[in-house]
Amino acid sequence: MHIVSLASSSTCGNAYVIWEDSKRPLLIDCGLSIAKLVSGLRSLGITPDDLAGLFLTHEHTDHVRAMCLKTPFPQKFGIPVYASGGFWDWYSTYQCGHLDAELIHLVEDGMTTDIAGYRVRSFLKPHDAREPMGFKIDGSSASVAFVMDLGYVPPSTEQLLRGAEYLVFESNHDLDMEINSGRPKFLIDRVLGEFGHLSNEQAADSLRRLVTASTRQVILAHLSVDCNRPQIAVSTVMEKLQDTPFRPEVTAAPSGILTQFGT
C-alpha cells in the first residue's frame, strides 16, 4: 500500500493519495490548488485521470479548496466524487462549482463503497462540519484509515480502526501551545471542543487503545503549524505506546511537503 501526503495542515491544505500496485489510485481530500494537486500527482507518476475516485471528509476549505472553483478539479478531469449528504447539501446551497451529476456519489455512516479493487468504509466523526466522514480503505495488501478533524475518537471508531495496518491520524496541537497561542478565545475553545481537533495527548490515548500487532505505521497528520511540532507529537504518541506490547513506526506528515509513507 502506497500512501502519500501531498499536504497535511489547516495552513497548507490536506490531500492524500493511496494506491496498491496494479490498481488505480484514490485521492482523499483536495484542499490544494489544482496546479499543486496536478504537480504533486505528476511527481508520483500519476495523472489526474488515473484517479478512480476522490473521497471528501468535509467542507472546510483546507480539505476542499479544489472543489470550490467554477470548474472544480474533479469536473476538469472526470473524477467521481464520494461525500456525505451533508457535504452535498452544503455544496449545492453555496453553489461552490459545477459538477456533472454522474460524478456525484453519496456515502453514509457505516457504508462500504467498492471501488477499483478497494473497499472504502465511511464513518461519521465529531467535528463542526456537515456530516463529516472518516474513511478506512481496505486493499488486498493492507488497510489504511484516515482519521482527521475530530474532537474526540468515539469508541465505535476505535473499534473499527483496530487491525488497520496504516493509520493517518490527527495529532493537531500541543495543549499548552494552543492555550498560550494568543489566538482569540473563541478559536481556542473551538479547537479544544468536542467538535474541534485532537490534541497530541488525545491522539496518543486513542492510539494506545487501538494499535495492534497488525499496525505497521502511524502517520500523525493535520499538525498545527503554530501550536505543534512534529517531534513533540511523535514523542507524545511513542511514550503512550510504551504501555502496550506494540511498536509500530510513528511518524508525522509535514505540513506542506509531499511525503511518501506506506511501502
* Residue 261 Cβ vs Zn ion, minimum distance, rounded to whole Å: 19
Quick one: which segment of 59-67, 85-93, 139-147, 161-169 binds Zn ion (CB under 5 A)? 59-67
Identify the residue among 60, 76, 105, 209 touching Zn ion (CB under 5 A).
Answer: 60
Smaller CB distance to Zn ion: residue 62 or 138?
62
Quick one: which segment of 56-64, 70-78, 172-180, 237-245 binds Zn ion (CB under 5 A)? 56-64
Smaller CB distance to Zn ion: residue 59 or 165?
59
- Which residues neighbour 56 within 8 Å (Cβ) at sequence distance 6 or greater? 29, 30, 63, 64, 67, 81, 82, 83, 87, 133
Regarding 149 and contact with Zn ion (CB under 5 A), the answer is: yes
Q: Nearest Cα to 161, choosing from 145, 148, 150?
A: 145
- Residues 199 and 91: their CA atoms lie apart, in Å, by 29
- In SS3 terms, 96-153 reads as CCCCCHHHEEEECCCCEEEECCEEEEEEECCCCCCCCEEEEEECCCCEEEEECCCCCC
* Residue 29 Cβ vs Zn ion, minimum distance, rounded to whole Å: 8
Smaller CB distance to Zn ion: residue 1 or 150?
150
Identify the residue among 62, 138, 170, 174 touching Zn ion (CB under 5 A).
Answer: 62
Regarding 170 and contact with Zn ion (CB under 5 A), the answer is: no
Regarding 130 and contact with Zn ion (CB under 5 A), the answer is: no
- Residues 178 and 202: their CA atoms lie apart, in Å, by 14
- Residues 221 and 9: their CA atoms lie apart, in Å, by 7
Binding residues for Zn ion, rule: CB under 5 A, are 60, 62, 149
